[in-house]
Amino acid sequence: MSETPLFSYSVAHALINATPLHAYTALKTPEEPSEVMDIGTVAHQIILERDTSRIAVLDFPDYRTKVARDTRDATRAAGKTPILTHRWVQVEKMVVEFYRQLAALDIEPVPFGPEGVAEQSLYFTEQGVQCRATPDWISLDHLYLYDLKTTGSAHPGQFSRTLWDKGYALQEALYRRAVKRVYDIDAEFTFVVVETEPPYALSLVALDPEAQVFADMQLDHALDLWKRCVETDMWPGYPTRTAYAEVPPWLKAAWEVRNYYGV
């Protein structure tokens, strides 16, 4: 790799949940934005940046026609985020509900308010690796980090599973590490989760101490793996040896029940 990119939580996620080859490939060929991703981007632009100038509302029912797809692609090329009209109406309603529910929360400081800074990048070195973290919002005293997530379900139990699947726990660990290294402060990190469908419910989710320890352990492993790959310029994929599939316990149990009842 001619120029080593900064280590980020998306890199850590690819290293932990896939392989160095996947991490390398993702850096060379970034993921194409989807309609779901666009909704999240628009929400961030409204809530965090308080700016709608880079949002383009497209009056199409969907992207099935060539004209709609070409307009969407041209919009992206112009540096704007495309969103279909009915999705825009949906996001407007979501934002209204978001602020209404946010105002009812008994927390200080209020997330995404004037007592903090949005999307300020923090640069630091960890284990000899150059890192970057860009919290959605950090309080002026650097004690609190809040991250906005738009999702289909903001149920705390559901999102608690989602955050591991999506690599958000690694994000939490990296951002806490960033504040510690830059400001020497142990910050509290909380996800502010809001649904993109009615009733646009909102929840707050944070990692418990045991989960934070586990996420830190995963982050340290990702940092070490990244450093070795960069130094050797080798990006291995899956193991080359044969992997053997085992019978899952649930299938064994189901088979035993079936034999027991003779069905």
Give tens-digit pLDDT for 15-27. 999 999 999 998 8
Residues 6+ apart with CB under 8 A from 261: none
User: What residues contact residue 50 under an 8 Å CB cut-off, 6+ apart?
Assistant: none
Q: List the structure tokens of 202.
A: 């909102």
pLDDT digits (tens, 9 = 90+) for 170-218: 999 999 999 999 999 999 999 999 999 999 999 999 999 999 999 999 9
**pLDDT score at 107:** 87
For residue 7, give the DSSP letter. B
**pLDDT recorded at residue 100:** 96
As a whole number of angstroms, the distance between CA 109 and CA 116 comes to: 8
Residue 29: what pLDDT? 83
Distance CA 1, CA 237 (A): 16
CATH numbers and ranges of domains, the chain: 1-27+105-236 (3.90.320.10), 32-94 (no CATH)
What pLDDT sits at residue 226? 96
Tokens 């034999």 belong to residue: 259
What is the percent of the chain with per-residue pLDDT over 90, rounded to a whole number?
A: 90
Mean pLDDT of 226-240: 95
| pLDDT at residue 3, as a whole number | 67
Q: Answer yes or no: pTM beyond 0.95.
A: no
Better pLDDT: 32 or 51: 51
Kindly state the helix (H) or strand (E) to which residue 156 belongs, with its residue range: helix 156-165
Average pLDDT over residues 21-45: 90
Nearest to 229 by CA among 10, 22, 9: 22
| pLDDT tens digits for range 67-115 | 999 999 999 999 999 999 999 999 999 999 999 999 998 888 999 999 9
What mean pLDDT is predicted for residues 126-152? 96
Rounded Cα distance between 183 and 37, Å, is 32
How high is the pLDDT of residue 5? 84
Statement: residue 4 has pLDDT above 80: no
What's the pLDDT at 1? 53
Q: What is the pLDDT of residue 30?
A: 78
On average, the pLDDT of the chain sits at 94
